[in-house]
């Protein structure tokens, strides 16, 4: 497995080695020891989640506040998404910037989205199965979001606005500039 830092160094792309032949393929999708070694700290994942969506579904941008902040390790089992992580750590040199990575059942890439980032994805192919690990449980009281179409974020979702399919919750999120309960850059969220 190869680990690659993105333009926001805390957001990591994981590229597994795919072993294939005429019978199919084998891929190791997760190794705790290798991830811990690369990061220099330990993340203890506690839950796996999965969703299936049709083309045009946009989920996000979501995050949870401490003490229920979450790191996510996301991947696509079948289909394709554009996955986005937005830095929402006040005073971060990359505050308000984002990383967008295409994840697919074919490329088997994964994206590590650390605590202190909002996360979302848009589905680029029908019948896409999206899976992810989290290191903290869901808390409705700590659940927050940011408007996916916040012009200050300048995210190109690669699908026309009229073709997007959003939940009612995701159509009513505030802009980043309207949010007061953000993360602090440099704060250790892993203790």
Which residue segments constitute the domains of the chain, with CATH numbers given? 43-184 (2.60.120.10)
Residue 181 has a pLDDT of 87
pLDDT tens for each residue of 6-64: 999 999 999 998 998 999 989 889 999 999 999 999 999 999 999 999 999 999 999 99
Distances (CA, A) of 67 to 10, 63, 126, 173, 176: 20, 12, 35, 21, 21
- Supply the pLDDT for residue 149: 97
25 is catalytic: no
User: Looking at 62, 63, 98, 119, which residue is catalytic?
Assistant: 62
Report the distance separating Cα 122 and Cα 24, nearest Å: 28
Q: pLDDT at position 124, please? A: 98
Task: Share the mean pLDDT of the chain.
Answer: 94
Tell me the per-residue pLDDT of 126-161, one tens digit each, with 9 for 90 and over: 999 999 999 999 999 999 999 999 999 999 999 999
Reply yes or no on whether 132 is catalytic. Answer: yes
Q: How far apart are the first and last CA of the chain?
A: 27
Task: Give the active site residue among 119, 132, 138, 161.
Answer: 132
* Total-model pTM: 0.94
pLDDT over 90, % of the chain = 88
């Amino acid at each position: 497995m190869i680990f690659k830092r993105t333009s926001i160094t805390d957001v990591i792309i994981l590229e597994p080695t795919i072993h294939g032949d005429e019978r199919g393929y084998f891929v190791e999708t997760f190794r705790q020891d290798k991830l811990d070694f690369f990061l220099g700290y330990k993340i203890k994942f506690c839950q796996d989640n999965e969703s299936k969506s049709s083309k045009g579904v946009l989920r996000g941008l979501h995050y949870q506040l401490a003490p229920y902040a979450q790191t996510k390790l996301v991947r696509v089992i079948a289909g394709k998404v554009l996955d986005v992580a937005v830095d929402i750590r006040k005073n971060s040199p990359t505050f308000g910037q984002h990383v967008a990575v295409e994840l697919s059942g074919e490329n088997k890439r994964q994206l590590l989205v650390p605590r202190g980032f909002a996360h979302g994805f848009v589905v680029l192919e029908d019948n896409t199965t999206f899976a992810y690990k989290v290191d903290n449980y869901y808390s409705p009281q700590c659940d927050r979001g940011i408007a996916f179409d916040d012009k200050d974020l300048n995210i190109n979702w690669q699908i026309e606005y009229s073709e997007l399919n959003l939940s009612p919750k995701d159509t009513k999120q505030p802009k980043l500039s309207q949010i007061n309960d953000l993360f602090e850059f440099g704060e250790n969220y892993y203790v």
